[in-house]
């Protein structure tokens, strides 16, 4: 979502004459769009500002703006703690960035903009074209969260759930497509909680699928509680929705899920899994795991390992629990570090093994790959399989934006390597 937000901020500030530079030592404005999810997010921001200060020590000071969720969480404290920062803008206020900058230039008034106003943000942004124009583009449809998992800052930094108007999203999708987008990734902190008037996420997916130039649709991140029947049902007839579902489970233990306030059980999760597999056995799952949540004992941890073995997740993310200030879990007693590291290793080894097995099974098979770009050295092209796995093959620049049938020759854990094929009769895996 930060990538989407950064692009929209750029689309906005262009209107008052700012351009991106690769050579940021020459920048006259330095904007840091921050994320609060990872460990020590706040300290990393101050550290980064320290770096900028050094770079500009003998030069004219740039205008320094902190945007994103750290800005939201810290607000005016940032201006007090680090005088080098000029403006602080939260994720629901960045549509006001041009006025804020112009006001600063005129009056040198340092301010923080951190009120929650997603309605006026998206209303404003719908009038500013999304010009990211990548083969695969993000499109935010929903923001915020009402679930209040005990470990998570999102409800405090992004505010309550808000779903954008249906037509506004479809218009943005059409505009992205006019600029070359072939794959649309619908985004939201609780993307499948999308609800605007009578429309749900399933309606939105089916509407976007109707745009002829759209080849693929994905959505992320979902909550198990919002995997409603209408959403599960569209997998029966969708033509463009990809068969990889990112559905965070966090833990395999009901005791820990309850302690986390996740509002779903393992049985709920398995029911969703079984229903989707019955509709299409080729659907695969990826997930997020928090290892060592306070109170996790050996049995809880083994439940997580067993769940991974049962579902055979691919492309999952796993992290050791780390407390976030202001959350319910912030002051709970932490598990011993050595145990945490051992548990994380075990989980990651199992997840990596699943990935290796999956990728190995694709060798000598044919896959449809949506080509996104040239590789860094420009000699090959890079794209993604239906399961989001990177595929590198001997393509040309003219393949970018097209779906190519590729024979997979080799694999490692994260990447498949293949050859373009002219044999259109080969069945795709
Ligand atoms: S549902 Fe997701 S975004 Fe909401 S509180 Fe839980 S982890 Fe955070």
pLDDT digits (tens, 9 = 90+) for 323-361: 988 899 999 999 999 999 999 999 999 999 999 999 999
- Out of 2.30.130.10, 3.80.30.20, 3.40.225.10, 1.20.1630.10, which CATH number does the structure's domain 120-360 have? 3.80.30.20
Lowest mean pLDDT: which of 154-163, 260-269, 402-411? Answer: 154-163
**What global pTM score does this model have?**
0.91
Question: If you measure from the C-alpha of residue 148 to the centroid of ligand 1, how many angstroms do you get, rounded to a whole number?
Answer: 6
Work out the average pLDDT over 123-135.
Answer: 79
Cα gap 214→193, rounded to integer Å: 23
152 lines ligand 1 (CB under 6 A): yes
Residue-level pLDDT at 349 = 97
Give mean pLDDT, residues 93-113.
92
Supply the pLDDT for residue 429: 76
Please report the pLDDT score of residue 428 as a whole number. Answer: 80
Question: Ligand 1 within 6 A of 189 CB?
Answer: yes
Residue range 53-68: mean pLDDT, rounded: 94
pLDDT at 423: 66
Mean pLDDT of 49-61: 93
Tell whether the model's pLDDT for residue 290 goes beyond 90: yes
- Tell me what pLDDT residue 1 has: 85
Determine what percent of the chain is predicted with pLDDT higher than 70.
99
Mean pLDDT, range 254-276, rounded to an integer: 98
Distance 190 CA to ligand 1 centre (A): 7
Using CA positions, which residue lies closest to atom 1 of ligand 1? 147
The per-residue pLDDT for 41 is 82
* Ligand 1 center from residue 185 Cα (angstroms): 19
- Domain 2-115 falls in which CATH fold? Rossmann fold (3.40.50)
pLDDT at 422 over 80: no
At residue 137 the predicted structure's pLDDT band, cuts being 50, 70 and 90, is very high
pLDDT confidence bin for 24, thresholds 50/70/90 = confident
Whether the CB of 148 sits within 6 Å of ligand 1 = yes
Q: Does residue 24's CB lie within 6 angstroms of at least one atom of ligand 1?
A: no
For the chain, domain boundaries? 2-115, 120-360, 366-420
Tens digits of residue pLDDT in 296-327: 999 999 999 999 999 999 989 999 999 988 89
Cβ of residue 36 lying under 6 Å from some atom of ligand 1: no
Report CA(97)–ligand 1 centroid distance (Å). Answer: 27
Best residue among 145, 250, 261, 330 to mutate for probing ligand 1, ranked by most atoms within 8 Å of CB = 145
pLDDT band at 130 (very low <50, low <70, confident <90, very high): confident
Averaged pLDDT of the chain: 93
* Nearest atom in ligand 1 to 152's CA: 8
Nearest to 347 by CA among 391, 290, 293: 290
Fold entry, domain 366-420: OB fold (Dihydrolipoamide Acetyltransferase, E2P) (2.40.50)
Which residue would you say has higher pLDDT here, 168 or 39? 168
Instruction: Provide the percentage of residues in the chain whose pLDDT is more than 90.
Output: 82
> Do residues 150 and 259 touch, judged by C-beta distance below 8 A?
yes
Q: What number does the ligand 1 atom closest to the CA of 261 have?
A: 6
Pocket test for ligand 1, best of 155, 220, 319 (most atoms within 8 A of CB): 155
189 alpha carbon – ligand 1 mean position (Å): 7
pLDDT over 70 at 280, yes or no: yes
424 pLDDT band, cuts 50/70/90, is low
Atom of ligand 1 nearest to the CA of 145: 4
């Amino acid at each position: 979502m930060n990538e989407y937000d950064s692009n929209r901020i750029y689309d906005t500030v262009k209107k008052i004459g700012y351009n991106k530079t690769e050579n940021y030592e020459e920048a006259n404005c330095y904007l840091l769009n921050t994320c609060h999810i990872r460990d020590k997010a706040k300290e990393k921001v101050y550290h980064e500002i320290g770096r900028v200060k050094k770079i500009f020590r003998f030069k004219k000071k740039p205008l320094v703006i902190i945007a994103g969720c750290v800005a939201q969480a810290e607000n005016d404290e940032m201006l007090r703690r680090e005088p080098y920062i000029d403006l602080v803008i939260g994720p629901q206020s960045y549509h006001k960035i041009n006025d804020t900058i112009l006001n600063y230039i005129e009056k040198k008034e340092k301010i923080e903009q951190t009120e929650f106003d997603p309605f006026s943000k998206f209303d404003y942004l719908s009038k500013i074209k999304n010009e990211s124009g990548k083969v695969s583009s993000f499109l935010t449809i929903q923001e915020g969260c009402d679930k209040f998992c005990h470990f998570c800052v999102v409800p405090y930094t992004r505010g309550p759930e808000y779903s954008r108007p249906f037509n506004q999203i479809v218009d943005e999708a059409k505009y992205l497509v006019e600029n070359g987008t072939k794959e649309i990734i619908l985004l939201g902190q609780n993307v499948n909680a999308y609800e605007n008037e009578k429309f749900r996420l399933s309606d939105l997916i089916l509407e976007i699928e109707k745009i002829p130039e759209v080849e693929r649709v994905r959505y992320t991140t979902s909550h198990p509680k919002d995997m409603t029947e209408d959403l599960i049902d569209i997998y029966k007839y969708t033509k463009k929705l990809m068969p990889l579902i990112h559905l965070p489970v966090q833990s395999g233990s009901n005791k820990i899920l309850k302690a986390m306030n996740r509002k779903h059980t393992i049985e709920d999760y398995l029911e969703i899994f079984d229903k989707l597999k019955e509709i299409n056995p080729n659907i695969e799952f990826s997930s997020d795991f928090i290892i060592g949540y306070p109170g996790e004992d050996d049995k809880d941890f083994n439940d997580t390992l067993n769940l991974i073995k049962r579902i055979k997740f691919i492309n999952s993310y796993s992290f050791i629990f780390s407390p976030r200030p202001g959350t319910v879990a912030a002051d709970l007693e932490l598990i011993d570090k050595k145990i945490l590291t051992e548990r994380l290793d075990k989980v990651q080894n199992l997840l990596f093994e699943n990935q290796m097995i999956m990728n190995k099974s694709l060798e000598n098979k044919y896959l449809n790959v949506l080509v996104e770009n040239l590789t860094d050295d420009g000699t090959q092209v890079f794209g993604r399989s239906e399961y989001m796995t990177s595929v590198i093959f001997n393509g040309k620049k003219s393949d970018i934006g097209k779906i190519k049938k590729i024979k997979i020759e080799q694999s490692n854990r994260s990447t498949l390597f293949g050859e373009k094929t002219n044999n259109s009769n080969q069945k795709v895996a």
